[in-house]
Homo-oligomer: A and B are copies of this chain.
Amino acid sequence: MDILETRELRYFMAVADELHFGRAAERLGMAQPPPSRAIQQLERRLGVSLLKRNRRGVALTGAGEMLLHEGRAALDAATAAARRTRRAGGADTPGGPRNRLVLAVKAGASHELLHKLLDAYAAEPDAVEIEVLPSGLCEQEGMLRDGRADVALMHAPFNSLAGFDSEPLMTEGQIAVLPAAHPLAAHRTLSLADVSDIPELPLARWSRNGTYPPGPGPEIHDQTQLAQLIALGRTVAVLPDSARTWLWAEHTAVPLTDAPPVVTHIAWPAHSRSLALAGLIRTATRL
């Protein structure tokens, strides 16, 4: 009844991503027939058609969409198991590698909070080593899911906390970051409507789960790039208050009156049972 090998899942994910057996096989580093056969076997075993083989490429059926979502979760869980097991290895051999926790944080965000947290935790009697893993703009969720991280700082409502346990740590308002030379930079406060439709200053967009929201603004990949585009007068961004720490002289921050507050959470996989993690969470909630 179990009958789902990770090999089959990997093949199917590749084909479902590419919608093309040849390219999928290439990505998998093998010839075209093996994935083709494996997916046929999978369809026979499940008694379900996963792909509609049209002339000219491939399309997913409803069952295929389901397997794409659920299989992604299953593969993430499997790689998480491998990574966390490897990381836990030797923790009980006295001379071996120490138990560690990997903490994912959005690069450049929550500096002060992070410092306070690490300092306070290091002072705990049973503290273990914390490895801080800077992540991309909204990548912490994937890092927790596939085991690259054990715990993360996340920012609602930008990160989805679905599927994780979490505790709120801090709430802050949001600011509009404008080129200092722009007329709006002179205002004491602004509203979201003020900054969302400036023709000469389109709102910057960044990816969430790999896709970008629609709009005319530039697509942002990292904070430095954003800072530069703002300084050049090409875009405007809406960011949490704590972003003030990395602003340039060419930037002006104006508080937004109606932007939703940003809540920084500490989040971890719901099934986690680590004592070290529990200690870190206890420290965090006491800050």
Say if the beta carbon of A37 comes within 8 Å of chain B.
Answer: no
Say if the beta carbon of A88 comes within 8 Å of chain B.
Answer: yes
A78, B50: Cα distance in complex, Å: 16
Say if the beta carbon of A126 comes within 8 Å of chain B.
Answer: no
Closest to A82 in B: B4
**B92 x A62 contact (CB < 8 A):** yes
Tally of this chain's copies: 2
Collect the chain B residues with CB atoms within 8 Å of residue A73's CB.
77, 80-81, 271
A62, B99: Cα distance in complex, Å: 10
Collect the chain B residues with CB atoms within 8 Å of residue A75's CB.
2
Say if the beta carbon of A3 comes within 8 Å of chain B.
Answer: yes
Closest to A2 in B: B79
A70, B146: Cα distance in complex, Å: 11
Say if the beta carbon of A10 comes within 8 Å of chain B.
Answer: yes
**B4 x A5 contact (CB < 8 A):** no
**Cβ-defined partner of A162 (8 Å) among B6, B7, B69, B271:** B271
**A4 x B6 contact (CB < 8 A):** yes
A92, B51: Cα distance in complex, Å: 12
Say if the beta carbon of A270 comes within 8 Å of chain B.
Answer: yes
**Cβ-defined partner of A6 (8 Å) among B5, B63, B269:** B5
Say if the beta carbon of A61 comes within 8 Å of chain B.
Answer: yes
State which residues 52-76 of A face B: CB under 8 Å.
61-63, 65-67, 69-71, 73-76
Instruction: Pick the interface stretch among A41-49, A181-189, A194-202, A224-232.
Output: A41-49
Say if the beta carbon of A213 comes within 8 Å of chain B.
Answer: no
CB distance from A91 to the nearest CB of B (A): 4
